[in-house]
Chains A and B, each alone.
Chain A
Amino acid sequence: MAEVSAGGVELAPVRLVDPDGSPTAEDRYSRDLPPETLSWLYEMMVVTRELDTEFINLQRQGELALFASCRGQEAAQIGATASLRKTDWLFPQYREIGAFLLRGITPAQMGAVWRGKWHGGLGFTEKCCAPISIQIGTHGLHAVGAAMAAQRLGEDSVTLAFLGDGATSEGDAHEALNFAAVFKAPCVFFVQNNQWAISTPVSYQMAAPSIAHRAIGYGMPGIRVDGNDVLACYTVTAEAAARARDGGGPTLIEAITYRMGPHTTSDDPTRYRSQGEVDHWSALDPIARYRNYLQAAGVWTERLEERVAAKSKRLRTELRESVVGADDFDVAEMFDTVYHDITPDLAHQREQLLAELAKEA
């Protein structure tokens, strides 16, 4: 790998584990995590993929309107989220199944979005996670605002915004990075560069040497990391979060990964990318790589694999039962949640709809 640097940001991504599972020569970062943490990261990645697969199955069976798979991005999401405290607020896009799962958000709470049951997800904020943001790039500013709140509340918490390569083209992403830098907000921008924004490759998003290079212009550290290496994502994010906690301001992390599936279940990626490219990235799969690493390190066991399989099965069943079996919400909720206290006009409209329903019944 060429060690090219431009403007203080290395083009070569930080990598702690090679695609074959062997440790790299990288010595600036530690791989020294307790075995239970190492196995937990593995468990979360596998369970995420299994749940993701169940989501796709449910969509194909007509139970979900849509689904955006995170297949291939498990290491990036799990690594970044695992390095934070549970009280550090996450500001996700919509593809962060791994991050949601790690925070204890249930399949039913995530599935509500794709079932068309409720926008945003259910109960995310109780887990210090903002609702999903389908408006691309806009939620980076919310992460900055929440980080500025932490400054004013005297907390040492940080916020993390998940962005994608496409999101970095949005004006709000620029404003978020700039505000965060100006106010030294304790905010980590974690960009999952999965190479594709639906059908548009990164080369159409920017002419900069890398996404991380944009950090130079904002006056914050930028770093590239192998997004399919969970340990690298963990350590790089932990370092950025620690700096933010200490008052050192924001960091822009570019995790280089790959969206193995379509943009959503409505997309057909064969129209714009080659099988050869997909095969290339399949060989860099984050889970197979990490399993090999754990086997060599003596952490992987049959018992771990059994435990992971049992948990996966349980969550897949839970998803199926809780999403398919659940009742819709009362239609009055769509009126009652608009304002804290419903307005007189909206109350009349609610009565109108209830009267329509009563007439039909």
Chain B
Amino acid sequence: MTQIIERPPMHGDDAEEPYGPMLTTVPRAARPISVPTSPNLTMAQAINRALHDAMAADERVLVFGEDVAKLGGVFRVTEGLAETFGEQRCFDTPLAESGIVGIAIGLAIRGLVSVPEIQFDGFAAPAFDQMVSHLAKYRMRTRGDVDMPVTIRIPSFGGIGAVEHHSESTESYWLHTAGLKVVVPSTPSDAYWLLRQSIVSRDPVIYLEPKRRYWTREAVDTTAPALPIGRAAVRRIGADVTVVTYGSLVATALSAAELADQRGWSLEVIDLRSLNPLDFDTVADSVRKTGRAVVMHEGPRTLGFGAELAARVQEELFYDLEAPVLRATGFDTPYPPARLEKLWLPGPDRLLDCVERAMEQP
């Protein structure tokens, strides 16, 4: 005899309900936790510190994905989280990206805050349906009733000599999807604060980590954020050409700017940091000043973010322009094998070619 029913529930039964429909997801400020200034952190360590501090600040924060717990992530970005916070809060999952994002949505429906990892950019494809059809739309589909505090960390972009499917630029997919925010840090400090701010966001954030810059070092001030999500940073002030970029190419643009100086061209470099929400005002202020703009990103040119920015600049600033808006990007090919990637990726030369064309306009 198998055991049966506990109690026959009745329609309209107003028995005590021990738990409500949803826990209220009250946003909690990304407040400082650790020692005020952490000297000389790599970007990977800064992300790790942000995860530690976010989990310490709010017990609803969970970290999960493939190989994130025992191994600490293939880049060691999640190292120590399982030991510190236990296997209920940092756990390894089956190898299934759609599943990883799908459970994050279910956890969010009940008020928990997820920071899942997709191990590499190319592996976001299996999770596409969950991200585009559900994660992005859940707030609207519930008429604003349900928060989706999910930050999906994706080690992204190329330049590390990786095998196929480990060097992709996925941002255009997410930027074409209403309901997602997309942020891309370029420095250890931004990596720390953009992640802390993403985790307290009540909307889903796609957090793209430029793995080529994981090992760059910087002193990280964890007492106060420099800028919120939705604000760009002017990394270099210049007079002739505005270079708009993000992520791993900010450093590329800054080094190209030094070379440009030698040729008499003064470059202003804008690090977007947040692609959606977009801080177009900062871009516009710069282009009004310089009259020239070059957009730089790794991903293929067609319908890359450069296309959107070029369209926006000409729509809103046409009469301020001295030259067409140009794009220094990857090509419309699949990401090439590692031996060819240096030729494919936009570097200082491709950027300076664009700068030269912009400067030569009559």
Contact = CB atoms under 8 A, between A and B. Distances in A.
Given A102-B11, A127-B21, A142 B4 contact: no
Interface stretch (B142-150, B154-162, B209-217): B142-150
B142 A120 contact: yes
B133 A152 contact: no
Contacts of B62: 152
A155 B23 CA distance: 12
A17 interface: no
A140 B105 CA distance: 11
B109 A239 contact: no
Given A142-B134, A340-B202, A343-B276, A239 B141 contact: no
Interface in A309-338: 333-334, 336-338
B143 A135 contact: no
Contacts, number: 198
Contacts of A172: 98-99, 102, 129-130
A318 B116 CA distance: 44
Interface string B275-297: 01110100000000000000000
Given A120-B142, A343-B230, A149 B6 contact: no
Contacts of A119: 137, 140-141
Contacts of B9: 82-86
A302 interface: no
B362 interface: no
A143 interface: yes
B179 interface: yes
Interface in A225-267: 234-235, 238-239, 242
A358 to B, nearest CB: 22
Interface stretch (A31-39, A50-58, A194-202, A282-290): A31-39
B12 to A, nearest CB: 8
Contact of A235 (B5, B19, B94, B202): B5
Chain A contact residues: over half helix, strand or loop, or mixed?
helix
Interface stretch (A1-9, A64-72, A175-183, A204-212): A175-183
A142 B102 contact: yes
Interface in B105-123: 105-112
A26 to B, nearest CB: 11
B19 A340 contact: no
Interface in B48-78: 62
Contact of B110 (A131, A141, A149, A176): A149
A298 interface: no
Contact of B8 (A34, A86, A130, A146): A34
Nearest 5 interchain pairs by C-beta: A145-B106, A141-B102, A145-B103, A149-B110, A175-B99
24 contacts: A28-B2, A30-B4, A87-B19, A87-B20, A87-B21, A140-B102, A141-B130, A142-B102, A145-B107, A149-B109, A152-B88, A152-B112, A155-B19, A159-B106, A171-B98, A172-B129, A179-B99, A239-B3, A338-B178, A338-B179, A339-B203, A343-B277, A344-B230, A345-B277
Given A123-B143, A339-B203, A340-B144, 17 more contacts: A29-B2, A33-B8, A34-B8, A85-B9, A86-B17, A119-B140, A141-B98, A141-B106, A142-B134, A149-B106, A176-B99, A182-B94, A235-B4, A333-B143, A337-B143, A338-B140, A346-B178
